[in-house]
Amino acid sequence: MSSTPNSYRIGPDERGHFGIFGGRYVAETLMPLILDLEKAYNEAKADPQFQGELKYLLTQYAGRPSPLYFAQRLTEKLGGAKIYLKRDELNHTGSHKINNVLGQVLLAKRMGKTRVIAETGAGQHGVATATVCALFDIPCVVFMGSVDVDRQAPNVARMKMLGAEVRPVTAGASTLKDAMNEALRDWVATCENTFYCIGTVAGPHPYPAMVRDFQCVIGDEVRKQMMEAEGRLPDTLVACIGGGSNAMGLFHPFLDDPTVRIFGVEAAGRGLDTEEHAASLTGGRPGVLHGNRTYLLQDREGQITEAHSISAGLDYPGIGPEHSWLKETGRVEYVSATDDEAVEAFQLLCKLEGIIPALESSHAVAYAAKLAPTLPKDNLLVINLSGRGDKDVPQIAERLGMKI
């Protein structure tokens, strides 16, 4: 473990490194484009007009701020910490993904790009990208593993209705990692006119920092909302982790507040003692994939192994590089929840609060359900409800043997 830095919020360095993690491990063809993107993003970030337009769209189009809701029945049932839900599932398109997509597509427009591509797992990022591309009249192609095309069928239909082309990917395990490979392959051939809208805090620099910045609206709002509701900061934050964007968006604004305990929940699939999980921080080692150095599930040689999670959005053998760094510094605690625990938490939230959470977010709920009873009643615990579960209804119904 490295020594404690002065601030956890200053990274990455100018080469895109968070400690030894991050960087820009991409084909030379893409390197000049990535440098351009970094420059364009830095300019946009400092431009009040860009920020104004983004703020307007987040408010009027996406419906922000999302509520911070006191989940009274869940709190009573668990009998410990006072639980708040950050309701990002209420955003337009049904998840936190739109926060990032609005930022990136505005940037694409500003850079004069005429085509947008994206990878998607659960389809939430794909739907968000298809949506914003429809709004701005930009052709959009979404790469999606064929396994995910099947298990997230409602989202595939949504993307098509929104005018996007969905390209099923059959390489590898046909899930999120393979979709990202295919999107990168497309981008190498089309980079002169195409903007690659990455859906999480991964990929080569500047993506991890840029996506984080766009998602920080979640944590910034929570800070303000909790001050209004309770007159102080939260004590505990819990979010699920696929690539780590909803988690980073919630965590980052609190990293320098030492009283706030932070938990990132990875997908433990069928169990960490099996090979079928997606917990790259718990079960992996640092390696290089998809443009950055980060914790990866891999064999001894460095061949990437397949992840498994019931949740398509968490079914990825890597994680954003800043999370790898936060793990090594010890600032964030990384834990996990299994498929079964997530399904149980999914049902719990349906019945107690009348909220159908995404299977991804259900992992955060599952861990919070274990943690909350161990905490005092005045402990303010925030769960990031990153998405709604409409897309998962057919899959869960089938698993529970329900006829629909």
Partner 1 sequence: MSRIEKRFAQLKADKRAGLVTYITAGDPDAEISYQILKGLPAAGADLIELGMPFTDPMADGPSIQLAGQRALKAGMTVDKTFDMVRRFRKETGDNDTPILLMGYYNLIYQRGPEKFCKDAAAAGVDGFILVDLPPEEADELKPHATANGLDTVLLTAPTTDDVRLPAVLKFASGFVYFVSVLGITGTKSATEEAVRTHVERIKRHTRLPVGVGFGIRTPEQAAAVARHADAAVVGTAIIDHVKAGLDDKGKAKPELVPGVFAYIKALADGVRGVRKA
Ligand X SMILES: Cc1ncc(COP(=O)(O)O)c(C=O)c1O
Q: Output 137 or 301, the one with its CB closest to partner 1.
A: 301
Q: In the Cβ-directed half-sphere of 210, how many Cα atoms lie within 13 Å?
A: 30
Tokens matching residue 60: 């009027």
Could you count the other beta carbons within 10 Å of the beta carbon of residue 111? 16
Pairing verdict, β 68-70 and 82-86:
antiparallel
Q: Output 176 or 358, the one with its CB closest to partner 1.
A: 176
Binding residue for partner 1 (CB under 8 A) from 1, 46, 189, 404? 189
15 interface partner picked from partner 1, ligand X, none, CB below 5 to 8 A per type: partner 1
Q: If you write DSSP's letter for every residue of 175-233 in order, what string do you get?
A: SHHHHHHHHHHHHHHHTTTEEE---SS-SSTTHHHHHHHHHTHHHHHHHHHHHHHHSS-
Q: Per CB under 8 A, which of residues 28..47 are in contact with partner 1? A: 28-33
Smallest gap from residue 194 Cβ to partner 1 (A): 10
Instruction: Return the SS3 of 155.
Output: helix
**CA–CA dist 326, 239 (Å, integer):** 14
Q: Output 235 or 315, the one with its CB closest to partner 1.
A: 315
- Catalytic residues, by residue number, are 97, 119, 386
**CA–CA dist 209, 157 (Å, integer):** 31
Binding residue for partner 1 (CB under 8 A) from 86, 290, 327, 391? 290
Q: Output 93 or 194, the one with its CB closest to ligand X.
A: 93
Binding site for ligand X (CB under 6 A): 95, 121-122, 124-125, 200, 240-247, 313-314, 358, 360-361, 386-387
Smallest gap from residue 94 Cβ to partner 1 (A): 30
Q: Output 191 or 208, the one with its CB closest to ligand X.
A: 208
Smallest gap from residue 138 Cβ to partner 1 (A): 20
Q: Per CB under 8 A, which of residues 113..172 are in contact with partner 1? A: 171-172
Instruction: Return the SS3 of 62.
Output: coil
82 interface partner picked from partner 1, ligand X, none, CB below 5 to 8 A per type: none
**CA–CA dist 393, 404 (Å, integer):** 10
**CA–CA dist 161, 397 (Å, integer):** 24
Chain residues binding partner 1 by CB under 8 A are 15, 23-33, 171-172, 177, 181, 184-185, 188-192, 285-291, 293, 296, 298, 300-304
